[in-house]
């Protein structure tokens, strides 16, 4: 059974006694910086002078300094800039400012797992990774709740890495929901696999293929959109609340029967073999190296894929329909 930690297992005063730098103020960065500040932690945000996020962070009452100044001042440095540039940011501004006993924190393990960042032996290397988007992390914190987090300690120079990581997780509300202990290896590989095979990649491709099948057969795109995308949320909410069983309890018996007989015809043994191949390429670093190369090359393929999907009939149909549905909150 996985090791779980809640509020009572974490001591907030540990992180309150440290100086924390949050590098980056995007989805995760803003949530961590604001919630730690509200938990009574000494926080500074490290951003480049030309950063678009700078004004927002200052408006929200945070002290913003350069990434190098933040790393120099702090003894806990959380790196929340995009994964593909973390290696460069580390080399340029973090490494020169690390002192023995400092702690280097991550929200995702990719750069440590695949060796793009190699910290010195005398610092703690920890992870606090919320299992949800940053905007939800912040909203839940403000509502007195939290998003579950996972924590890991890759290098325990002080012997107190886990207590520090749990304290940090408490500062962003994670221990209110529950924190699971993992390793950098497990977090990185399962996170990449989950987002590629199931959550983002698998689901997007499934929705698109279903939508295209209906439209190509002559059905109205608006109806296809509702069947293949809009209703997905209702189904996923039921799964989230009570697993497959609750979803199947709520849908019609006809839908349940169709689920049993048709699901395995769509996600076949071939699909599972492809998943195993995807996992192997995550584990051996093929994916991480290709992604970092794409990023450093100026994102040519990434932009091509993004453009093609934004022009897809699924998306143009959805844009029009969502405007007509006052209850769909695009900001959520
Ligand atoms: P975002 O892309 O949302 O934000 C990145 C931030 O970094 C922006 O504020 C950007 O500022 C800033 N930035 C870019 N370059 C630099 C630089 N050289 N120095 C300082 N700041 C810089 O990132 P995410 O929050 O999505 O991801 C951060 C980390 O969190 C990643 O490791 C990711 O895997 C992890 N994570 C993300 C989740 C999510 O919900 N998005 C979930 C769990 C983990 P600007 O653009 O204004 O210049
Ligand atoms: Mg991820
Ligand atoms: Mg139906």
Report whether 184 contacts 113 (CB < 8 A): yes
284 is in an annotated binding site: no
In a domain, 18, yes or no: yes
Strand arrangement of the beta sheet that strand 149-155 belongs to: 4-5, 179-181, 149-155, 124-130, 103-106, 76-79, 19-23, 42-46, 64-65
What total number of domains does the chain contain?
A: 2
Could you say which DSSP state residue 95 is in? G
Residues near ion ligand 2 (Cβ under 5 Å) = 191, 195
Based on the fold, state whether residues 154 and 227 are members of the same structural domain: no
Split at pLDDT 50, 70, 90, the class of 327 is low
Q: State mean pLDDT over 140-149.
A: 97
Based on the fold, state whether residues 148 and 58 are members of the same structural domain: yes
| Cα–Cα distance for residue pair 297/295, rounded to 1 Å | 5
In a domain, 23, yes or no: yes
Q: The domain spanning residue 132 has which CATH number?
A: 3.40.50.720
Based on the fold, state whether residues 142 and 221 are members of the same structural domain: no
In a domain, 254, yes or no: yes
In a domain, 188, yes or no: no
Split at pLDDT 50, 70, 90, the class of 127 is very high
First to last CA, the chain: 34
In a domain, 332, yes or no: no
In a domain, 105, yes or no: yes
13 is in an annotated binding site: no
Q: From the CA of 226, which ligand is nearest?
A: 3
Task: Supply the pLDDT for residue 325.
Answer: 82
Question: What spacing in Å lies between the alpha carbon of 226 and ligand 3's midpoint?
Answer: 9
What's the distance, CA 219 to chain centroid?
36
| Cα–Cα distance for residue pair 319/36, rounded to 1 Å | 36
**Pocket around ligand 1 at a 6 A CB cut-off:** 23-29, 46-48, 51-53, 67, 80-83, 85, 89, 107-108, 129-130, 133-134
Q: Provide, rounded to the nearest whole percent, the portion of the chain with pLDDT above 90.
A: 97
**Residues contacting 144, CB < 8 A, separation 6+:** 176
| Cα–Cα distance for residue pair 138/25, rounded to 1 Å | 12
Question: What spacing in Å lies between the alpha carbon of 152 and ligand 2's midpoint?
Answer: 15
DSSP secondary structure string for all residues of 238-285: HHHHHHHHHHHHHS-HHHHHHHHHHHHHHS-HHHHHHHHHHHHHHHTT
Based on the fold, state whether residues 28 and 120 are members of the same structural domain: yes
Query: End of a domain among 147, 182, 217?
Result: 182
Q: Can you say whether the dihedral through the CA atoms of 211, 219, 237, 318 is positive or negative?
A: positive
| Cα–Cα distance for residue pair 271/277, rounded to 1 Å | 10
In a domain, 187, yes or no: no
Kind of pairing, strands 149-155 and 124-130? antiparallel
Asked if 30 is an active-site residue, the reply is no
Q: pLDDT tens for residues 2-33?
A: 999 999 999 999 999 999 999 999 999 999 99
Query: End of a domain among 156, 182, 208?
Result: 182
Q: Buried b vs exposed e over 98-129: b needs ≥16 C-beta within 10 Å?
A: beeebbbbbbbbbbbbbebbebeeebbbbbbb
Task: Supply the pLDDT for residue 329.
Answer: 57
Question: What spacing in Å lies between the alpha carbon of 249 and ligand 2's midpoint?
Answer: 31
SS3 state at 93: helix
Based on the fold, state whether residues 68 and 177 are members of the same structural domain: yes
In a domain, 70, yes or no: yes
Task: Supply the pLDDT for residue 124.
Answer: 98
Residue 141 has pLDDT above 60, yes or no: yes
Based on the fold, state whether residues 201 and 313 are members of the same structural domain: yes
Residue 100 has pLDDT above 80, yes or no: yes
**Residues contacting 316, CB < 8 A, separation 6+:** none
Question: What spacing in Å lies between the alpha carbon of 192 and ligand 2's midpoint?
Answer: 6
Based on the fold, state whether residues 160 and 267 are members of the same structural domain: no
Task: Supply the pLDDT for residue 1.
Answer: 85
| Cα–Cα distance for residue pair 21/89, rounded to 1 Å | 13
Q: How many other C-beta atoms are found inside a 10 Å radius of the C-beta of residue 153?
A: 21
Atom of ligand 1 nearest to the CA of 88: 18
Tell me the residue range of the domain where 55 lies.
4-182
pTM of the full predicted structure? 0.93
Nearest to 302 by CA among 106, 128, 82, 86: 82
Q: From the CA of 55, which ligand is nearest?
A: 1
Residue 332 has pLDDT above 60, yes or no: no
154 is in an annotated binding site: no
Q: pLDDT tens for residues 190-209?
A: 999 999 999 999 999 999 99
Atom of ligand 1 nearest to the CA of 28: 25
Based on the fold, state whether residues 122 and 54 are members of the same structural domain: yes
Atom of ligand 1 nearest to the CA of 130: 43
Question: What spacing in Å lies between the alpha carbon of 21 and ligand 1's midpoint?
Answer: 14
Atom of ligand 1 nearest to the CA of 53: 47
Averaged confidence pLDDT in the chain:
97
Q: pLDDT tens for residues 245-303?
A: 999 999 999 999 999 999 999 999 999 999 999 999 999 999 999 999 999 999 999 99
Based on the fold, state whether residues 114 and 262 are members of the same structural domain: no
Based on the fold, state whether residues 173 and 202 are members of the same structural domain: no
Based on the fold, state whether residues 172 and 203 are members of the same structural domain: no
Annotated catalytic residue within 32, 108, 135, 312: 108
Q: State mean pLDDT over 104-128.
A: 98
Based on the fold, state whether residues 170 and 205 are members of the same structural domain: no
Query: End of a domain among 131, 148, 182?
Result: 182
Q: State mean pLDDT over 52-70.
A: 97
């Amino acid at each position: 059974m996985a090791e779980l930690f809640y509020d009572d297992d974490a001591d907030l005063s540990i992180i309150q006694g440290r100086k924390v730098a949050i590098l980056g103020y995007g989805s995760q960065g803003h949530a961590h910086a604001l919630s730690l500040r509200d938990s009574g932690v000494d926080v500074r945000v490290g951003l480049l002078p030309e950063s678009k996020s700078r004004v927002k962070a200052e408006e929200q009452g945070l002290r913003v300094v350069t990434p190098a100044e933040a790393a120099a001042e702090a003894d806990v440095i959380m790196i929340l800039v995009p994964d593909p540039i973390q290696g460069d940011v580390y080399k340029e501004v973090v490494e020169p400012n690390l002192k023995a006993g400092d702690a280097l924190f991550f929200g995702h393990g990719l750069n440590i797992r695949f060796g793009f960042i190699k910290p010195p032996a005398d610092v703690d290397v920890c992870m606090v990774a919320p299992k949800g988007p940053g905007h939800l992390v912040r909203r839940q914190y403000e509502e007195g709740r939290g998003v579950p987090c996972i924590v890991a300690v890759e290098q325990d120079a002080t012997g107190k890495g886990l207590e520090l990581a749990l304290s940090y997780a408490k500062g962003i509300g994670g221990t209110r929901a529950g924190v699971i202990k993992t390793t950098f290896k497990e977090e990185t590989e399962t996170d990449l696999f989950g987002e590629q095979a199931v959550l983002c990649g698998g689901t997007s491709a499934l929705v698109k293929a279903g939508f295209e099948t209906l439209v190509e057969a002559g059905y109205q795109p608006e109806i296809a959109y509702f069947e293949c995308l809009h209703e997905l949320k209702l189904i996923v909410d039921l799964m989230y609340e009570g697993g497959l069983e609750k979803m199947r309890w709520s849908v019609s018996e006809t839908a349940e029967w169709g689920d049993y007989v048709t699901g395995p015809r769509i996600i076949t043994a071939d699909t599972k073999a492809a998943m195993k191949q995807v996992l192997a390429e995550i584990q051996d670093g093929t994916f991480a190296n290709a992604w970092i190369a794409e990023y450093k090359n100026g994102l040519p393929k990434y932009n091509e894929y993004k453009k093609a999907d934004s022009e897809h009939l699924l998306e143009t149909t959805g844009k029009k329909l969502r405007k007509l549905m006052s209850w769909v909150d695009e900001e959520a």
